[in-house]
Amino acid sequence: MSVQVVKKTCVLLVASYLALPVVQAGETATITVTGTREEALRAETAETVDQLDAQAIQDTKPAHPSEIFNRIPGVHVNVTGGEGHMTSIRQPMTTSAVYLYLEDGIPTRSTGFFNHNALYEVNVPQAAGVEVTKGPGTSLYGSDAIGGVINVLSEASPLKAEGSVSAEAGGHGWHRLMVSGGNGWEDGGIRASVNLTHTDGWRDATDYDRQSLSLRWDQSLDSGANVKTLLSTSDIDQQTAGSSRLSEDDYINDPTKNMTPISYRKVEAVRLSSAYEKESSKTLLSVTPYVRKNSMEYIANWSLGYDPTQLKTDSDSLGLLAKYRMDFLPNRTRVIVGADIDYTPGSRLEYSINAVKNADKIYESYTLGEKVYDYDVTYQGVSPYVHVETSPMDKLRITAGLRYDSMSYDYDNKMADGLLKVRPDGWTRDAKYNHPADATVDFSHLSPKLGATYSFTEKLNGFASYRHAFRAPSEGQIFRPGSNAESIDLDAVKVNSYEVGVRGEPNKSLSYEVSVYYMSKKDDLVTYSEPSPSTVRYTVNAGETLHKGIELGMNSQLSRDWSLGMSYSRSSHTYEEWLQKGVDYSGNNIESAPDTIANVRIKYKPSILNGGHAELEWEHLGEYYMDAANTDDPDNTTVYDGHNLLNVRVNYFVDTNLELSARVINASDQRYATAASYSGVSEFAPGMPRTVYAGVEYKF
């Protein structure tokens, strides 16, 4: 895009955050960019898309991605240490590959190499905005886009020389320095952004460091085409308690305790893309080649008790996103045809470790044991698609799409085929690691969608949609199967989703959106431990689950100085047909699936703050079952009651260039859990106590 177009897009994103009217085509309107990979009217988008722009991120100053994403209706991002997270969007809180994470429309990782902590591989605090498409991705996105598509937008090059420096400090050894700046010229511009973050962590042995760089170059060519080149890098180094849970007594009385201080995670993520776009009055050609490099080394804290290993995974990608859009005068018809190509060689090297506990049962040290997995695996995917929009009536817009994914894993085992038995020091039984023989595993799938929007008035429109999606098993589930000897026969997960909703603005001070969804998921994948004496988990297709709910978002300008924002969702997540370890859980509620999620923000902008504001935010997470059996144990907690948190933010402008800010997270110092489970005993991962941050930013 040209600098001018990018500037216009940013203005429109600001308009969406301020809840400007939802109107018909041809008038000033809210724009989305994720659904069709280019600017589209939100009022003509037959799915729920929520946006927060750069100003929202600037006002929030998130130390963790949850602080910005939890403002979106139906979205809950928890904290697992550092900037690690699990996400809940029309799904339970999970580490499963049910979300697709994008940066400027490009997946941050290849299918098969999913990372549930994907948001720490993106520089969210310096982004130009975020978009969340809830429910299955459209026909323009493939595997993993089940619960939602999260797109982080990079900040465009400036029109003229500018820069900013932001320094923050906070509790638990928190420090962050962010620098951004660039320059523009007649037909382009460049911007560089750097994020350096450190925290000692509030739990024992949970220090965290990140270094992120974003470099964007926008250029208009003499041919009329525009080129956007983006380089993004992130290096993460952390010790982690992650979602490591404590006994109920420690959770209440000694929440800083970390039972797994030997666990750690080192991450390197690099993405380079160059998007070429040439648009005429009726056509658009878009070609985006990209390269990716992802590397991760870690000791997982959650598996030290049954499968203690140290592993390193690598994947390097070459990819291409290509599309051609044509517009026709009859019925404002639009046709988009395109294809995604992804070639990703990857590898896994994994060693058993001998983990040593001290007298307090804390893992205090380890030594490397036998090599348990060593293989290369190459993912290849070719996915053509077609997307059509038309308006048989002035107020009616119909969309339809179809995507065909053809993908394969080419696997090369570097160890002996068959079962390897390993007995870590101090264990009384073997851990089992099966090694499939060299194989090529293929998946192919058709993903259709159909939707419609209708403008009842200029201030009220509705939408309805059917969307189908799927998820291929990850490379680890297929080729790192534990004791499962049939892992290469796993099926893909399939999802059918139905949704209806309305968007409206009764007056200039109020806007809202309400949506209702119904989603069934078949051939879902479940990972669990075999019965004793085995210790290693394995994955199977388990059955069918059902997900349904209602979501509400509202923004209101109460007066010149006061505004109110509200997000609310109520949902039900159930096992419809589910057999796990010989036990039938059909009809039960899925564990870790909160029934309600809410966020209410009231903002005050008095003149005394010189253009700044004060904000009070209430975060609510509802109750959920802590196990699949929905156990009722009078001696243990088996239902997490949920929690309510208060956050306070304030900023003040000394002048137009200098800003002072402060925020208090969990201001009432509530004890709460970021995750809770029950397996004979109750365990809780404690959330961060009251934490104060202060910062200063200078723009020039």
pLDDT at 2: 40
Q: What is the mean pLDDT of residues 97-125?
A: 93
pLDDT at 17: 32
Q: What are phi and psi of 247, to 5 degrees?
A: -60, 160
Whose CA is closest to 105, among 52, 38, 192, 16? 38
Q: What is the DSSP string of 128-162?
A: SEEEEEESS--TT--TT-SSEEEEEEPPPPPSS-E
> Looking at the domain assignment, is residue 336 inside a domain?
yes
User: What's the predicted TM-score (pTM) here?
Assistant: 0.92
CA distance 74 to 280: 38
CA distance 484 to 29: 53
Q: What is the mean pLDDT of residues 483-508?
A: 93
pLDDT surpassing 60 at residue 622: yes
Counted domains in the chain: 1
With a CB cutoff of 8 Å and minimum separation 6, the contacts of 183 are 157, 158, 160, 161, 162, 189, 190
pLDDT at 243: 64
pLDDT at 21: 30
pLDDT at 26: 28
Share of the chain above pLDDT 90, in %: 81
| pLDDT tens, position by position, 247-268 | 999 999 999 999 999 999 999 9
With a CB cutoff of 8 Å and minimum separation 6, the contacts of 323 are 37, 284, 285, 286, 336, 337, 338, 339
> Looking at the domain assignment, is residue 56 inside a domain?
yes
pLDDT at 536: 59
| pLDDT tens, position by position, 61-84 | 999 999 999 999 999 999 988 899
User: Confidence class of residue 541 from pLDDT cuts 50, 70 and 90?
Assistant: confident
> Looking at the domain assignment, is residue 403 inside a domain?
yes
Residues spanned by the domain of 247: 3-412+429-621+636-699
* Distance separating the N- and C-terminal Cα atoms of the chain: 25
User: Confidence class of residue 40 from pLDDT cuts 50, 70 and 90?
Assistant: confident
Peptide bond before residue 255 is cis, with ω within 30 degrees of 0: no
Q: Compute the C-alpha angle 318/324/328, nearest 5°.
A: 165
Taking CA atoms, 30 is separated from 8, 10, 27, 37, 492, in Å, by 12, 11, 10, 15, 36
> Looking at the domain assignment, is residue 419 inside a domain?
no
Q: Which helix (H) or strand (E) holds 15?
A: helix 3-17
Whose CA is closest to 170, among 661, 614, 672, 613? 661
CA distance 53 to 27: 21
Provide the CATH number for the domain around residue 667: 2.40.170.20
pLDDT at 303: 86
User: Confidence class of residue 1 from pLDDT cuts 50, 70 and 90?
Assistant: very low
> Looking at the domain assignment, is residue 627 inside a domain?
no
> Looking at the domain assignment, is residue 559 inside a domain?
yes
Q: Which two tokens stand for residue 681?
A: 């005993």
> Looking at the domain assignment, is residue 150 inside a domain?
yes
Q: What is the mean pLDDT of residues 413-435?
A: 87
| pLDDT tens, position by position, 152-182 | 999 999 999 999 999 999 999 999 999 999 9
pLDDT at 571: 98
User: Confidence class of residue 427 from pLDDT cuts 50, 70 and 90?
Assistant: confident
> Looking at the domain assignment, is residue 424 inside a domain?
no
pLDDT at 530: 55
User: Confidence class of residue 10 from pLDDT cuts 50, 70 and 90?
Assistant: very low
User: Confidence class of residue 483 from pLDDT cuts 50, 70 and 90?
Assistant: confident
Q: Which two tokens stand for residue 177?
A: 């320095």
Q: 3-state DSSP call for residue 39?
A: coil
CA distance 523 to 94: 17
With a CB cutoff of 8 Å and minimum separation 6, the contacts of 560 are none
Asked if 545 contacts 524 with a C-beta cutoff of 8 angstroms, the reply is yes
| pLDDT tens, position by position, 332-350 | 999 999 999 999 999 999 9
CA distance 45 to 461: 10
pLDDT at 3: 39
Q: Compute the C-alpha angle 415/421/422, nearest 5°.
A: 100
Q: Which residue has the tokens 């308009």?
A: 15
